[in-house]
Amino acid sequence: MIAAVTAPLHFYQLSEPRSVVFDEVHFGRMINAYTTTGEYFFELHPPAAKLLIAGAVKLGGYRGGQRFPMIHWPITNVSPALLRGVPALAGTLIPLLMFALLVQLGASDFGALIGGLALALDNALLIETRLLIVDGVLLAATLASLCCALAAQRAKRGRLAWALAAGAFAGLAVGTKLTALAVVALIGLCGIAEWLRDRRAAVLRALVADGAAFAASALAVYATAWWLHYALLTGPGSGDRWAPRTGDWIADTLHTHASMWSQNVGLASGHAY
């Protein structure tokens, strides 16, 4: 029932409006950089979700040519639905993931249904996930990581697979925005609570194994996104001013993170919208 509500809401007339909306003016340029121009840019957040969207757009046949100079600029050289497809899919999944999470937390099927439908019908969330912006991917990956982590704790078989999946989704979430580190902390607290309920050595060993698998998977996804970021952005660009490249992969990534942190904490002006 949730899927029957959320899928049409996200995909019906996804190409409307056929012009650049809000922060699509920024993310459109980044998609161009990843898919066609290779222009090196600096952004306040990690690249994972942007790369995911760029990959889908590239597979969908986009070969460049669409400009994103300003809000309201017409989108004529690519289907707007192609640009917004990954965020719309994430938005479709968010209510379903909330349903699964609520069931895992002990809610009745009816209660979980109400929770899922509430997210499916939330106007702000719906608008956010019908545009070329990354917050939908952030939320979907966060919920998926929580669901998989809880499934790992309760699994009698396949516990390692659930822990690896939880880590991969956490890596995607943190690789979208660093605020998703909160989900890593929350999953850690869940593990501590599990051990406090049952302090047997076997439980501790299982939780340590879960943590190791989770961390390895999360780091692999997060690091792969940064590797792709540098591999695709080989040309000169505005990013050379904020996070110049030296060629030593790891050092460049650390320097970029330092720049991201300083720019985020230094934001003082408000947003026009």
| pLDDT of res. 86 | 98
| pLDDT of res. 267 | 73
- What average pLDDT is seen over the chain? 94
Q: Is the pLDDT of residue 272 over 80?
A: no
Q: Is the pLDDT of residue 271 over 70?
A: no
The long-range contacts involving 121-127, CB below 8 angstroms and separated by at least 24 positions, are 121/5, 121/9, 125/91, 125/94, 126/9, 126/10, 126/91
Tell me what the mean pLDDT of segment 199-219 comes to.
94
| pLDDT of res. 12 | 96
| pLDDT of res. 273 | 64
Band of pLDDT at residue 18, cut at 50, 70 and 90: very high
pLDDT tens figures, 110-125: 999 999 999 999 999 9
Pick the range with the lowest mean pLDDT from 205-209, 238-242, 252-256, 263-267: 263-267
CB contact set of 180 (below 8 Å; sequence gap of 6+): 138, 141, 142, 170, 173, 174
Rounded-to-integer distance, Cα 115 and Cα 265, Å? 34
Rama region for 243: left / alpha / beta (φ>0; ψ in -120 to 50; rest): beta
Tell me what the mean pLDDT of segment 7-21 comes to.
96
> Hunting for tokens 């890596």 — which residue is that?
171
Q: Is the pLDDT of residue 156 over 90?
A: no
Q: Is the pLDDT of residue 57 over 90?
A: yes
pLDDT tens figures, 245-269: 888 888 989 988 888 888 877 777 7
The long-range contacts involving 148-154, CB below 8 angstroms and separated by at least 24 positions, are 149/187, 149/190, 149/210, 149/214, 150/101, 150/104, 150/105, 150/190, 151/104, 152/210, 153/190, 153/191, 153/194, 153/210, 154/104
| pLDDT of res. 28 | 96
Rounded-to-integer distance, Cα 129 and Cα 137, Å? 8
Band of pLDDT at residue 149, cut at 50, 70 and 90: very high
CB contact set of 157 (below 8 Å; sequence gap of 6+): none
Rounded-to-integer distance, Cα 183 and Cα 174, Å? 9
Rounded-to-integer distance, Cα 6 and Cα 97, Å? 12
